[in-house]
Amino acid sequence: MINTQSLVKVKNLTKHFPLRRGFLFQKQAGLVRAVDGISFDIGLGETLGLVGESGCGKTTAGRTLLGLYPPTEGEVRIDGHNLGTARRSEMMTIRRKAQIIFQDPYASLNPRWTISAIIGEPLRVHRILPNESERTERVRELLKLVGLSPSHLNRFPHEFSGGQRQRIGVARALASDPKFIVCDEPISALDVSIQAQVVNLLEDLQDRFGLTYLFIAHDLSMVRHICDRVAVMYLGVIVELADRDELYENPLHPYTQALLTSVPIPNPRKDRARRRKILQGEIPSPLDPPSGCRFHPRCPIVKSHCSKQTPEWREIHGGHWVACHEVGSLPGSGQQKA
């Protein structure tokens, strides 16, 4: 059951990376606008999905709101703590409450550390269990919790499969007893046969511990399965946000509609019969994003004002937010132009 209380509040979050060139990279040649002013809340016990094409800024957004990247602008509050004004002691509290599961289970685990050391490190850093024997016993419990044998605690990461390594990553994230976890495409590097197992594990853990997730993913079918609400991101900005079923059954933004028509349907006859919306052109560079609506160079219903005016972020109805001048112009949107 989702609590209406917001655990995570993100307001106008911006992250720009300076691009440097020249001798010893001393000359700044521009800014990569990876995340350019996004806002959303995540309720206690909720799973918010964040989807979009590769390079749209999803991973940067997730890491920035945890403080792994210092934000350029904006405000992030996690369980009432403001990351921008938090002192070192308060940041330790935030880091204990907010964890991350990385995308690559092969690169995110130190190959020279045993599984006991990897999972036990948050316990040591946050001084949760100062006694080594107590930490070892807690690692055994965590391994069992994620479906691995407690007898594996002295093994090294290379002795495990990709799915098992991701379970180790989940156990490490759970070690500090967090409230909020950023799941950064946790299944994209896994075999299809293993993906459902990891997702089911995340759902079971959420039910058991009341966890709150930001679930970053490419797989739109999986996002609909696990998420309560879904935010669609394009070129550093969020273009649509709605409840899961509302977004999939009544997408308003032309980019969202194009994304959803790309999701495969298991029935070949229905898949051939449906009308796909194929976008023209390439994604513009985040070094020089288009003026006005960032989607206008590829939009099938673009108008002259789309390239001049930034669309207003507005609520159309019942928690369905969209940033588009021409809401309702596409067939099937179910809305009249506002």
pLDDT of residue 25: 66
CA angle 204, 227, 46 (to 5 degrees): 75
Q: What is the DSSP string of 260-275?
A: HHTS--S-HHHHHHS-
Task: Find out if CATH 2.40.50.140 is the number for domain 6-51+72-230.
Answer: no
Q: pLDDT digit string (tens) for 61-79?
A: 999 999 999 999 999 999 9
Find the mean pLDDT for residues 306-321. 91
- Bridge partners of residue 240, in order along the sequence: 232, 322
**Amino acid in the structure at residue 243:** D
pLDDT of residue 338: 35
Of 230 and 20, the structure prediction assigns the larger pLDDT to: 230
- In this predicted structure, the answer to whether residue 2 has a pLDDT above a threshold of 60 is no
Chain mean pLDDT for the chain: 88
Q: Is 86 left (phi over 0), alpha (psi -120 to 50) or beta?
A: beta
- Does residue 238 contact residue 232 with C-beta atoms inside 8 Å? yes
Check residue 192 and give its pLDDT: 84
- pLDDT tens column, 9-19: 999 999 999 88
Strands 229-234 and 47-51: parallel
Band (267; pLDDT cuts 50, 70, 90): low
Q: Look up residue 13 and give its two tokens.
A: 């979050």
Residue 206: per-residue pLDDT: 97
Choice between 122 and 334, residue whose per-residue pLDDT is larger: 122
Q: What are the extents of the domains in the chain?
A: 6-51+72-230
Q: What are phi and psi of 254, to 5 degrees?
A: -60, -30
Q: What is the pLDDT of residue 335?
A: 46
Residues 163 and 198: beta-carbon distance below 8 Å:
yes
Residue 268 pLDDT: 66
Q: Tell me: pLDDT of 1 over 50.
A: no
Phi-psi region of 332 (alpha: psi -120 to 50; beta: other; left: phi over 0): left
* For residue 337, pLDDT beyond 50: no
Q: Is the backbone of residue 7 left (phi > 0), alpha (psi -120 to 50) or beta? A: alpha
Instruction: Answer yes or no: pTM beyond 0.85.
Output: yes
Which two structure tokens, joined as six digits, stand for 251? 């997408």
